[in-house]
Structures are given as C-alpha cells and as structure tokens.
C-alpha cells in the first residue's frame, strides 16, 4: 500500500481513507493508495516551507549535482518504471519508454543549466553604482499533474522547480499515483527532507486546498482547460503556469509525401489512444489528394491492433477508464446524429476485458460541431477537405485552442506561411503536431494555456527576477 510522502517520510493519510489504482487494460487493482485531505496538504506545505530556506540558499550548482544523481537513478530504473507506467495508464511499453526518455533528456539538460543560471549586468545612470539582475526561487511550488504522461510531466515541472531553489508539493492524478510514488522514492536518499512532498487523492479535496493555500507561491498545472480556468480565477496574485487542452490540426497539401503524412497521422491521432493534449485531432486535406489520403488513412487505422500495452504486438492500448470510454463514445454518436459520417471505428469492442475504443475516423464534419471544437481525449480523428491553402489555415485556426499544429508540404512558401499563420504555440513542418525537445519551450496560446515548459522558458516559470544595485 502506498502512503503519502511528507517531510522525508512515508506517512498515513490523516483520514485513513484509501483508493485503488487500476490497470485499464483489464480493470484489475494494481495497488491501494492512501487518500490525503486538507490536513495532509497543510502538513506537506508546512514541510516544504520549513525546508525552503536551506534549500534555496544552497548553491545552484549543488542542486544541479543532486539532479545529476537523480538522472542516473532514473536511468537505472527505466525498465521497471516503464512497465509500471504501462500497467497504470495503459499506453504501450514503447510509448512508456519514450516518455521516460523525454524525462531523462530534460533532466540532463537542466544539469548543465545549473552552471548557466544567469542574470545580467546593466549600466547604471548613477556614478559608482553596479546594477545587475539575478534569478530567485518563488518559494513553495505546487505541481498538479495528469495521468497521461505520469513520468515526463512530473519531471518537466519538478526538475526546473528544484533547480531554481523551490521546494515542492506534488498532487498527481488519481489515475497514476503509483508512478508518482515511484518517482519520489527514487529521490528519497538524494534530496533533503521536506524538499519534495507527495499528497495523493481527490482533486476536489486536496487540489482545491493546495491552490488556495496561503503558503503556496507558484502553481504549475497540466490538465483540462475547464479546470485551468478555475485555477486561474482562484489564485489571485500567485504565479501560475497552465498547460491545457488542444484541438491540434494537420494541414496536408498536394505536394506532401502522402504516405508519410498518413503514417504520421496514425501516430499523431492514435498514439497513447489519442489521450494527449498534443494528439492530432483534425486533419485538413487538400481536395486534390483527399480521396487517396482518406483511403490510406482508414486502411492503416483499421489495421491497428488493440490490446494490453505489455504485448509487443499491440498498436494501441486502452483508454484510462470506463468513464472515458463513455465520454468518447458520446462525442462520436452525437457527431453522427449531427451529420458526420463514420469511416471506421466508432465502437468499444466487446470481450476485451478493459477500457478499449476502436480507432475512429469521421468526415462530413462542420466546424461548428462540438466534436470539431472540443477536446475529445480519445482515438477520434475529424477529417476535413479544403480547396486552398488559405481555406485550410482558416479551418485549422477556427477553434478556441492553439497548442500544436502541423503542415505537410514540399512547397517552401507554404511551409513558412504555415509557421507564421497557424495560431498555435508549436508548429511542425512535415511531422506530427506535438514535437517535444528538452531545450525548447512547450506550451500553447488561446485556451491551450499560459506559460511554457522546457528550455530557458521552463526555468523562468519557476524563478523570478531580482534587480540589485550596489553603490560604492
């Protein structure tokens, strides 16, 4: 049974309540987890506050060295951790391994940034004065993380927060508490007590308390746009970073390599069973190649093998829960009733024992349909036709989100116009939306969030600028 981790100790939840972490591939219980409450949040925040002074006044290169030790530990445990991720959230083993590799790359990058934690010197208008800036931690950082990338998103938040000198209180999704616990346990003998704290349980119970807590200084949240808006409105003057939803388009032009675009779309739409904020959810194909692209796409989607992520033959794993299957199916059925045409999928296969939904493709979509505007978070792809590049850009941008986007073309002008005109935080040419590299920022515009993770911008999320004047 997994407990809470507060002030360097694994401890029971104050209420004594627990919940089960389930394997979405078969619905079985993996382990039981303690469910924290507001009292536990207060204990965790107090521990983080108590550890803050010694941690933030340590040398940044020393903190980077501890991250290096953690990096080595994470590499040693990669195989077992990947298997745990697959059992807890359902993604294929290769997807879990790739996610951990992203976390390793980010940690490796931040170890080097410990020696480049720069401010800058500026000339002063006053005689005999030195003026410069330096980066400083905020204080206690609250990290609220989702289940779909239970390793990489925690590391992408925790590593820069710690490097900058913050102490942290983590609240992972109730669908992936064991992975969070494994990540914390790897650092038990590396980081001082109180620097890292973990409280598992209901978002309504502990998430709300963390957000409102007067001793929490910075909040970083990844999840739905609806919850992100509530956090933003409830946090007053706290520093907040929000990585939210997406409705990510791929624009396919006649000069594109069609076979590659099809393969990439399959990966983008159905990787992690479509349960990514960066999933390709809308494909806009020029009418000259629309029928060919559609035929190849449906053929490849129908060939994907559903199954347990531990099976190397599995092409797509389960959804996270029975509830999510119902949500996805509801979107599909409503779209069909509203005039969409089902090209493949559109059902939860019988007899598989878990939470599966077939790869689904729809066309005859109008941009005002709910399925064309809202994040489904499942293996559902909307297919559009356009008669020109300009029309395609218009369809791509006609959503409230702006996280990632792609354009497939061999025309240099179209490629650069796409990077300029697609309204998103990330634009990819001739690859699926959602590329992530540790040294570059990740984040969106519009209702896809505020702030950035990764790169220097990810460090800035967890540090503030202090201006210093010295007269002599």
The pLDDT, as a whole number, for residue 302 is: 95
The pLDDT, as a whole number, for residue 343 is: 98
**What is the CB neighbour count within 10 angstroms for residue 392?**
26
The pLDDT, as a whole number, for residue 63 is: 98
431-457 per-position pLDDT tens digit: 998 788 999 999 999 999 999 999 999
361-393 per-position pLDDT tens digit: 999 999 999 999 999 999 999 999 999 999 999
Considering the chain, what percentage of its residues have pLDDT values greater than 70?
Answer: 100
66-118 per-position pLDDT tens digit: 999 999 999 999 999 999 999 999 999 999 999 999 999 999 999 999 999 99
In terms of DSSP bridges, do strands 140-144 and 167-171 run parallel, antiparallel, or are they unpaired?
Answer: parallel
Q: How far apart are CA 255 and CA 234, in angstroms?
A: 48
Mean pLDDT of 326-340: 98
**Angle, helices 60-76/152-163, rounded to nearest 10 degrees:** 160
The pLDDT, as a whole number, for residue 179 is: 98
Please say whether the beta carbons of 411 and 255 come within 8 A.
yes
Mean pLDDT of 256-271: 98
Q: How far apart are CA 77 and CA 252, in angstroms?
A: 40
Q: How far apart are CA 472 and CA 469, in angstroms?
A: 10
Q: How far apart are CA 10 and CA 2, in angstroms?
A: 8
The CA–CA distances, whole Å, from 338 to 217, 261, 383 equal 46, 28, 15
DSSP per-residue string spanning 415-469: HHHHHHHS-SSEEEESS-S----TTS-B--EETTEES-BSHHHHHHTTEEEEEEE
55's enclosing H/E stretch is helix 38-56
* Phi, psi dihedrals of residue 130, rounded to the nearest 5°: -105, 135
325's enclosing H/E stretch is helix 322-337
The pLDDT, as a whole number, for residue 436 is: 87
Find the DSSP H helices in 206-321.
Answer: 208-212, 225-234, 258-270, 290-303
- Please state, rounded to an integer, the average pLDDT across all residues of the chain: 97
Q: Is the pLDDT of residue 269 over 90?
A: yes
The pLDDT, as a whole number, for residue 368 is: 96
Task: Spell 442-466 as b/e; 16+ CB within 10 A means b.
Answer: bbbebbbbebbbbbebbbbbbbeee
| Joined tokens for residue 345 | 């999928």
The pLDDT, as a whole number, for residue 232 is: 93
Kindly report which listed range (34-43, 415-424, 431-440) carries the lowest average pLDDT score.
431-440
CATH number of 4-244+448-471: 3.40.605.10
**What is the CB neighbour count within 10 angstroms for residue 9?**
12
The label of the residue with tokens 């989702």 reads 146
Q: How far apart are CA 133 and CA 266, in angstroms?
A: 47
How big, in percent rounded to 5, are the helix, strand and coil portions of the chain? 40, 25, 40
Of the residues 164, 277, 298, 382, which is catalytic?
Answer: 277
Single pTM value for the model: 0.96
In 138-267, the DSSP E strands lie at 140-144, 167-171, 196-198, 218-222, 239-243, 248-252
Boundaries of every domain in the chain:
4-244+448-471, 248-429
181-222 per-position pLDDT tens digit: 999 999 999 999 999 999 999 999 999 999 999 999 999 999
Of the residues 88, 95, 113, 243, which is catalytic?
Answer: 243
Please say whether the beta carbons of 279 and 271 come within 8 A.
yes
277 counts as catalytic: yes
Q: Is the pLDDT of residue 237 over 90?
A: no
421 counts as catalytic: no
The confidence band for 236, taking pLDDT boundaries of 50, 70 and 90, is confident
Superfamily of domain 248-429 in CATH is: Aldehyde Dehydrogenase; Chain A, domain 2 (3.40.309.10)
* Phi, psi dihedrals of residue 9, rounded to the nearest 5°: -135, 145
Q: Is the pLDDT of residue 243 over 90?
A: yes
């Amino acid at each position: 049974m997994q407990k809470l981790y507060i002030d360097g100790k694994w401890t029971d939840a104050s209420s004594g309540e627990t919940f089960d972490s389930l394997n979405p591939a078969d619905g079985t219980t993996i382990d039981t987890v303690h469910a924290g409450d507001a009292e536990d949040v207060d204990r965790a925040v107090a521990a983080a506050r108590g550890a803050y002074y010694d941690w933030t006044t340590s040398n940044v290169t020393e903190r980077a060295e501890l991250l290096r030790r953690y990096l080595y530990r994470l590499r040693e445990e990669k195989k077992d951790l990947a298997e745990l991720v697959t059992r807890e959230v359902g993604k294929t083993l290769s997807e879990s391994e790739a996610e951990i590799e992203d976390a390793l790359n980010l940690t490796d990058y931040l170890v080097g940034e410990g020696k480049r934690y720069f401010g800058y010197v500026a000339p002063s208008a006053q005689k005999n004065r030195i003026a410069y800036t330096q980066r400083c931690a905020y204080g206690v950082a609250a990290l609220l993380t989702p289940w779909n990338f239970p390793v990489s998103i925690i590391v992408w938040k925790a590593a820069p927060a710690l490097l900058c000198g913050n102490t942290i209180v983590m609240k992972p999704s109730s669908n992936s508490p064991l992975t969070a616990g494994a990540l914390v346990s790897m650092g038990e003998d590396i980081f001082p007590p109180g620097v890292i704290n973990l409280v598992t349980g209901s978002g309504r119970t502990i998430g709300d308390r963390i957000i409102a807590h007067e001793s929490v200084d910075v909040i970083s949240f990844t999840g739905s746009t609806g919850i992100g808006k509530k956090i933003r409105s409830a946090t007053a003057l706290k520093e907040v970073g929000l990585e939210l939803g997406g409705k990510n388009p791929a624009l396919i032009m006649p000069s594109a390599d069609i076979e590659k675009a099809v393969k990439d779309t399959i990966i983008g739409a159905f990787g992690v069973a479509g349960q990514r904020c960066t999933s390709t959810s809308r494909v806009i194909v020029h009418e000259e190649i629309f029928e060919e692209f559609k035929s190849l796409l449906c053929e490849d989607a129908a060939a994907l093998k559903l199954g347990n992520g531990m099976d190397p033959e599995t092409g797509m794993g389960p959804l996270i829960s029975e509830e999510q299957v119902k949500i996805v199916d509801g979107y599909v059925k409503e779209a069909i009733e509203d005039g969409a045409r089902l090209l493949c999928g559109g059902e939860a296969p019988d007899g598989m024992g878990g939470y599966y939904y077939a790869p689904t493709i729809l066309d005859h979509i109008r941009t005002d349909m709910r399925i064309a505007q809202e994040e489904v978070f499942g293996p559902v792809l909307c297919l559009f036709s356009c008669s020109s590049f300009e029309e395609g850009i218009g369809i791509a941008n006609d959503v409230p989100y702006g996280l990632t986007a792609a354009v497939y073309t061999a025309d240099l002008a179209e490629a650069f116009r796409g990077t300029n005109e697609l309204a998103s935080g990330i634009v990819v040419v001739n690859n699926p939306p959602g590329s992530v590299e540790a040294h570059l920022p990740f984040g969106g515009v519009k209702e896809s969030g505020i702030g950035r993770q990764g790169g220097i911008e990810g460090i800035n999320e967890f540090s503030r600028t202090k201006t210093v004047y010295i007269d002599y």
